[in-house]
Amino acid sequence: MKRTARRQGIELSAAQQARLRKLQETILVDEKANLSRKARAFQSQQRAAEVELARAAELLRAERQEQGLSLAGLHERSGISRAAICRLENLVDANPTVATLNRMATALGKKLVIALRDR
Q: What is the pTM of this model?
A: 0.66
What value does the mean pLDDT of the chain take?
A: 91
DSSP states of 19-47 as a string?
HHHHHHHHHHHHHHHHHHHHHHHHHHHHH
Domains of the chain, CATH where assigned: 14-107 (1.10.260.40)
Q: pLDDT (tens digit, 9 = 90+) per residue, 21-51?
A: 999 999 999 999 999 999 999 999 999 888 8
Does 6 score more than 80 pLDDT? no
Residue 107 binned pLDDT confidence (cut-offs 50, 70, 90): very high
Q: Is 79 exposed, middle or buried (0-12, 13-18, 19+ CB in 10 A)?
A: exposed
